[in-house]
Every structure is written in structure tokens, then in C-alpha cells.
């Protein structure tokens, strides 16, 4: 869309980023972007970890939970509780008891605080350039110019600086999850072949499914008695769902998944993008049906199929062939140091002193492409994160980009070629790999969040 200068009130949607675990989706989409903004001072946008007493001794805030060396404040809990209560009422979802809802929200805030602490420890940062690019995308999708975004937000009573801070925060969480989860998912050649065989055999491989989900978690070190108790609860929830109880309300009340506040909604998924634990079950389900509890390492899962719609298959796509070198920051090398190293590599390659593939094989920290000299193969739209695709789109054939940053780290990329191509077996294989990895991400993310939570020190003060 082409942005224009008019700054009329608009409901700005959430960034189109592949978040492994989305923030609460409020009916007014811009409010969804701002859930949890009580973490920031409304004037300065700084993270408010502590509150001071005023001069007359009036208590301004309380600590709801101590999380390692940080805290979750009562003001954060109250603000999110009011936001989510309003959203559930707008959706005509029956509210659970207030103490149950508050506990669910507090646990979500605790887990998010744990993630932010880990991101800070790892030095994960969102640059102003990356943030501005994301905000520019929000503006374009609302048919306004980037410069008009502050005014459009102001007309909805939203502080622009606070909005920027929350977007930066969510992008930081996304980068952490990409690093800790997606980047570590391994797919064997045998798995890929079996997955492609299932795809070819499935008559509805292009269909899309609207699915909701309830997780009754099981601790990693659970005793047989604990497992039996959790299984019993899962069966009770399943019986309630089959008995006509509202699934969304059951998710809010009972689910241990981070999607519980959204009523367990996983949104629309292509058949090949469904969680792997559900892929073999969904074909036998009809809209409105609920699956029996499915046992996995993270616990017992209950799924509800809400709707099904047909998919659209594209037969010809524009592809690019590229290779890259990836370096990440660490305790000893900050962003500036890594950027300079890549700039020096780029100069040596351009001057003919180094071979791109050879140096990629020994220096790139991308385990998926380093062994192939950084070669990413032929890929179509959506194969890479937006910042990466933007760099490739600006390159001429054989040109090497300057160093740039994405959630994975710092890159230089070389464009090797472009083509219009039919959906060949190679392309199908690439798509199958990406879809299989995405289907695994659901379960892997739940396990990752559970490990982070189990390893953290949490003391509730409520």
C-alpha cells in the first residue's frame, strides 16, 4: 500500500512478525500492541522496576512477584487484568473467577520478565533502525506515512514513545525465541522425507484450519502421582468441552499454555503448519469437534477445530539465490565489533583477497548454511525475515550487501541470481522444511518456556 499524509484515526494492527508466542489479541488491535505497557513509565518510556514513596508517605505501588533480580509490579497486574477483562467481555466470553484470571495474568507477566532478563543477559538488542523499519511497516499497512504515525496514535490516546518501547520489547522477545528455539530445531533427512510423503498423501494439504488449544502441563520431574493427577484434570476439561462448556472460557481458566488469555486461540494455520502433535488428528475432525487429550513431554493437549477454509496454491514464484555470512554478538564482542568484522570480510572478498564461500564455511555461525559456504539455495517470498529480504531486494546480481542486523545476528549477503520458477521438487522441499520446523516450534516453545520458568527464582507477594 502507498502511504498518504492523512492521519485519520485508524485501528493499527499488530506487526506482521512471526512471533512464536503472540501477545494478547484485543478486539481493538492497537490495544493488543500495548498490553503490558505499565512496564514502562508513560512519560519517559523507561522500564519501571521499582517505585518510590512520595514525600507524604503514600504507597504508590506494590510488588506482585519477585522474579530473580527483577519484579512484577501490582500496577502491571492490575492494568493487564482490566485490559483482558474488557476484551473477554467484548468477545462474550464468560469470565472465570477474578482471582483465577489474575493468577493466569501474573504467571504470564512472570514468564515474560524471565525472558526479558535472559535477553538482557545475552545482549539482545533491537536497534533504532530495526525498530523504525517495523513501525514503518505498521504505517504502510494503515495507509499513512511514517511521519504521521505519532499523530494517528495520539488520536487514539496512545503515547508514541510508549508505543515504540512496547514494540521494541516485543521484537526483543521475538529475537530471543528465534535464537533459543527456532535456531535449535533439528530436522533429519528421514523426517523431511516422511513429512513430504504425508503432504503428498493428504488431499487437504492446502486447507487452512482455525484451531484452539488447552495445555495441562506436566512438570519435567513429575512423579507418577503428579502425572496421574494432571491426566485426570485433562480428562475433566475434555469432558467439560464435550459437554458444551465454552472452550475459550475453559482455556482461560485451566490452560497452562501462554495462549490461555486468548482463549487458547492458535489462529489460522495451513494443514502443513499445524503442531506436529495434531497433524495426524485434524483430518478426522469436523468444525466444532474437540480432540481427546494428547500426551506429549510438555503435558496433555486438547485441541478444538473451529473452522476450515480452502487454501490457494501458487504455481509460479519469484525466487532469489543468495548466500550469507552470519556472526552473533557475545560477552566479548558487541554490535560494533561484529559489524566491523563483517565489513572487513566484505572488503577482502570484493578486493579478491578472500573467497566468499571459503570464508563463510569457517566463520559463519549459521549451522544450516555454513557447511555449504553460506549458500541458502533458491528461495521464494517469505522464506526470510523482512530485514533480510529487504537487503536482498536492493542488491544487483553478485553484489554483496553492507553488514546489517536481524534477530538472528549480523549478516552480509550476496545475491547470486533471480528467476521466475514453477513449484519444483526442490522448492517443495524447502517449503516442507520450513513448515516442519514451524510445526515443531509450538511444542519446542512450550518446553523452552517451561524450562526457563523452572530454573527461575519466583516469589509471589500477592
Whichever domain contains 351, its CATH number is 3.10.50.40
Q: What is the predicted pLDDT for the residue at 26?
A: 27
Q: Kindly state whether residues 40 and 163 are assigned to the same domain.
A: yes
Q: Kindly state whether residues 246 and 169 are assigned to the same domain.
A: no
Domain containing residue 390: 316-422
> For 329-334, which contacts have Cβ atoms below 8 Å and span 24 or more sequence positions?
329/123, 329/409, 329/410, 330/123, 331/123, 334/123
User: Residue 141: which CATH number?
Assistant: 1.10.4030.10
Q: Kindly state whether residues 278 and 376 are assigned to the same domain.
A: no
Q: Kindly state whether residues 328 and 378 are assigned to the same domain.
A: yes
- CA dihedral 370→374→378→380, nearest 10 degrees, is 90
Q: Kindly state whether residues 281 and 378 are assigned to the same domain.
A: no
Q: What is the pLDDT of residues 104-145, one digit of tens each?
A: 999 999 999 999 999 999 988 888 888 988 898 888 888 898
- Residue 459 pairs with which residues in a beta bridge? 66
Residue 288 maps to a domain: yes
- Residue 296 pairs with which residues in a beta bridge? 299
Q: Kindly state whether residues 392 and 414 are assigned to the same domain.
A: yes
Read off the DSSP letter of residue 184.
G
Integer Cα distance of 233 and 218 in angstroms: 11
Buried-exposed string 73-109: b where 16+ CB fall within 10 A, e elsewhere = bbbbbbbbbebbeebbeeeebeebeeeebbebbbbbb
Query: What is the DSSP secondary-structure string of 357-414?
Result: HHHHHHH---TTTGGGTTEEEEE-TTSS-HHHHHHHHTPPTT-BPPPEEETTEEEEEE
- Grid cell at residue 381: 517470498
Q: What is the predicted pLDDT for the residue at 424?
A: 57
Residue 5 maps to a domain: no
Integer Cα distance of 249 and 241 in angstroms: 10
Q: Kindly state whether residues 92 and 142 are assigned to the same domain.
A: yes
Q: Kindly state whether residues 293 and 394 are assigned to the same domain.
A: no
Q: What is the predicted pLDDT for the residue at 89?
A: 86
Q: What is the predicted pLDDT for the residue at 348?
A: 95
User: Quick one: average pLDDT of 78-91?
Assistant: 87
User: Quick one: average pLDDT of 386-399?
Assistant: 93
Helix (H, G, I), strand (E, B) or coil at 460: strand
Detail the DSSP E strand segments found in 310-366: 316-327
Q: What is the pLDDT of residues 147-169, one digit of tens each?
A: 999 999 998 888 899 899 889 99
Confidence label for 276 from pLDDT (cuts 50, 70 and 90): low
Integer Cα distance of 71 and 202 in angstroms: 49
Q: Kindly state whether residues 253 and 324 are assigned to the same domain.
A: no
Residue 11 maps to a domain: no
Residue 18 maps to a domain: no
Number of separate helices (H) and strands (E) present in the chain:
14, 11
Q: Kindly state whether residues 274 and 380 are assigned to the same domain.
A: no
Q: What is the predicted pLDDT for the residue at 48?
A: 35
Q: Kindly state whether residues 70 and 173 are assigned to the same domain.
A: yes
Q: 308 phi and psi, to 5 degrees?
A: -135, 140
> What is the pTM assigned to this prediction?
0.50
Residue 21 maps to a domain: no
Strand order through the sheet with 265-270: 265-270, 208-217, 299-309, 294-296
- Residue 237 pairs with which residues in a beta bridge? none
Residue 197 maps to a domain: no
Q: What is the pLDDT of residues 218-261, one digit of tens each?
A: 888 888 999 999 999 999 999 999 888 999 999 999 999 888 88
Residue 331 maps to a domain: yes
Residue 361 maps to a domain: yes
Please tell me the total count of domains within the chain: 3
Q: Kindly state whether residues 154 and 284 are assigned to the same domain.
A: no
Amino acid at each position: 500500500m502507498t502511504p498518504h499524509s492523512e492521519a485519520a484515526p485508524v485501528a493499527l494492527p499488530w506487526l506482521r512478525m512471526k512471533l512464536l508466542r503472540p501477545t494478547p489479541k484485543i478486539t481493538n488491535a492497537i490495544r493488543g500492541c500495548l498490553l503490558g505497557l505499565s512496564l514502562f513509565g508513560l512519560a519517559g518510556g523507561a522500564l519501571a522496576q521499582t517505585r518510590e514513596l512520595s514525600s507524604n508517605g503514600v504507597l504508590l505501588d506494590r510488588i506482585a512477584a519477585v522474579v530473580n533480580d527483577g519484579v512484577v509490579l501490582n500496577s502491571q497486574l492490575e492494568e493487564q487484568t482490566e485490559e483482558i477483562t474488557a476484551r473477554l467481555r467484548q468477545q462474550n466470553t464468560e469470565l472465570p473467577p477474578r482471582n483465577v484470571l489474575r493468577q493466569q495474568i501474573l504467571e504470564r507477566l512472570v514468564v515474560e520478565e524471565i525472558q526479558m532478563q535472559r535477553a538482557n543477559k545475552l545482549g539482545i538488542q533491537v536497534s533504532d533502525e530495526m525498530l523504525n523499519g517495523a513501525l514503518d511497516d505498521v504505517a504502510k499497512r494503515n495507509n499513512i506515512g511514517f511521519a504521521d504515525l505519532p499523530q494517528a496514535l495520539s488520536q487514539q490516546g496512545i503515547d508514541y514513545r510508549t508505543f515504540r518501547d512496547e514494540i521494541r520489547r516485543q521484537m526483543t522477545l521475538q529475537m530471543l525465541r528465534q535464537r533459543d528455539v527456532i535456531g535449535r530445531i533439528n530436522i533429519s533427512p528421514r523426517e523431511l522425507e516422511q513429512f513430504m510423503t504425508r503432504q503428498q498423501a493428504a488431499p487437504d494439504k492446502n486447507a487452512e484450519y482455525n484451531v484452539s488449544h488447552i495445555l495441562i502441563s506436566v512438570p519435567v520431574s513429575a512423579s507418577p502421582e503428579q502425572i496421574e493427577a494432571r491426566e485426570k484434570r485433562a480428562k475433566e476439561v475434555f469432558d467439560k468441552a464435550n459437554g458444551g462448556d465454552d472452550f475459550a472460557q475453559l482455556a482461560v481458566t485451566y490452560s497452562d499454555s501462554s495462549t490461555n488469555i486468548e482463549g487458547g486461540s492458535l489462529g489460522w494455520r495451513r494443514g502443513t503448519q499445524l503442531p506436529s502433535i495434531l497433524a495426524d488428528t485434524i483430518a478426522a475432525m469436523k468444525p466444532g469437534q474437540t480432540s481427546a487429550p494428547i500426551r506429549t513431554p510438555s503435558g496433555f493437549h486438547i485441541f478444538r477445530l473451529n473452522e476450515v477454509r480452502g487454501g490457494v496454491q501458487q504455481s509460479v514464484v519469484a525466487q532469489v539465490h543468495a548466500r550469507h555470512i552470519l556472526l552473533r554478538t557475545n560477552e566479548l564482542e558487541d554490535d560494533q565489533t561484529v559489524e566491523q568484522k563483517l565489513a572487513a570480510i566484505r572488503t577482502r572478498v570484493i578486493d579478491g583477497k578472500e573467497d566468499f564461500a571459503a570464508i563463510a564455511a569457517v566463520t559463519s555461525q549459521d549451522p544450516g548454511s555454513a557447511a555449504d559456504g553460506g549458500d541458502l539455495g533458491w528461495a521464494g517470498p517469505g522464506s526470510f525475515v523482512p530485514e533480510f529480504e529487504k537487503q536482498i531486494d536492493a542488491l544487483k546480481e553478485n553484489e554483496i550487501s553492507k553488514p546489517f542486523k536481524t534477530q538472528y545476528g549480523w549478516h552480509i549477503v550476496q545475491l547470486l541470481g533471480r528467476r521466475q520458477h514453477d513449484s519444483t521438487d526442490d522448492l517443495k522441499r524447502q517449503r516442507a522444511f520450513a513448515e516442519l520446523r514451524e510445526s515443531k516450534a509450538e511444542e519446542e516453545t512450550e518446553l523452552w518456556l517451561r524450562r526457563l520458568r523452572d530454573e527461575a527464582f519466583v516469589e509471589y507477594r500477592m
